[in-house]
Amino acid sequence: MSLPDNALDYISRLDELLMRAEALVGVRTKTISQITREYEDALDRFVRDVLQRGGGEVDFRRSHKALIRSVAPRAYVEGMREAGGSEDDLDDDDQAVIETWTDEQVGYVDAFASDIRAASLSDAPEDAAVSILARVPVWVKSLEILGALGKASFLENRPGTWQYGDTKHCGTCLKLNGQRHRLKWFTSRGYIPRQPGSETLDCKGFKCQCRIVDDNGEQLLP
C-alpha cells in the first residue's frame, strides 16, 4: 500500500523533530548502521511491492524520493556524532554535501523505478526480479558512505593512510595505497573508498575494499 503525500511529509517532519529532540537531550537512539538498515528495509519493501503488483512505479518514485530526503541528513549527522561532534557542527559545506548527495540519489530514482516496472512484467527474464533486488544494497552502501563523510567532516584534520582491501586493485587505489594525508585531503579530491559509482576511482568503488585508517589502525573512512 502506498502512502499519500501528506503522510510522507509527516514522516519527514517527524524524523526532523526526532533528530532535534535527541540533540537537545544528548541522546542518540540511532546509529549509522541502524539508519541504513531502516533504509534498506523500507526500500526492499517498496521494490517488492512493485514487483509483486506489476505496477505502482509512480508511487515508488514518490515514496523512494521522500525516503532519501528523510534519511540523508540523519545519516550524515549521525556520522558526525559518532566522531564526537553534533548537529551544531554542521556548516554550509556539510549542508552542501548532504544536498549534493540527495540530489544525485533522487536523480537515479526514476530510471530505477522503470527498471523495476520492466522486471515485473510477465515477459521479463526469469532472473529479472533477482537482479533488481541485488541493486538495493548499492543504494544502501551509498547512504553508508554519506554517514562516513559526516564522520570524516568532523575529523577532517585527522591524519589517515589509504590501506588496501582484500580484493583486486584498480590504478587509483594502487596509487593511493600507503599515502598519508589529512582526511580532508582525501575527501576534497573525491578519494573515498568503496563509494558506489565513484568518478575518481578507476574501480568505480563497487567492489573496492580499501579504507583509510589513522595512525593507530582505527578505520576513519568509510
Q: Which residues contact residue 150 at a Cβ distance below 8 angstroms, ignoring those fewer than 6 apart?
A: 75, 76, 77, 78, 79, 80, 83, 94
Can you name the residues that pair with 221 across neighbouring β-strands? 212
Read off the pTM. Answer: 0.78
Cα 180 to Cα 105: distance, rounded to the nearest angstrom: 31
Q: What is the pLDDT of residue 169?
A: 79
Q: What is the DSSP letter of 89?
A: G
pLDDT in tens, the chain (222 residues): 444 444 445 444 555 555 454 444 444 457 889 999 999 999 999 999 999 887 788 999 999 999 999 999 999 999 999 999 988 889 999 999 999 999 999 999 999 999 999 999 878 888 899 999 999 999 999 999 999 999 999 999 999 999 987 777 798 998 999 999 999 999 999 999 999 989 999 988 888 989 999 999 889 888
Give the type of residue at 208.
C
Q: What is the pLDDT of residue 44?
A: 95
Length of the chain: 222
Cα 184 to Cα 181: distance, rounded to the nearest angstrom: 8
Whether 19 and 62 have beta carbons less than 8 Å apart is answered as no
- Containing 95, the helix (H) or strand (E) segment is helix 92-120
Coil, helix or strand at residue 137 = helix
In sequence order, what E strands does the chain have?
159-163, 180-182, 211-213, 219-221
Q: Exposed, middle or buried: residue 164 (CB in 10 Å: 0-12, 13-18, 19+)?
A: middle
Specify the domain boundaries for CATH 1.20.120 within the chain. Answer: 5-151
The dotted CATH code for 5-151 is 1.20.120
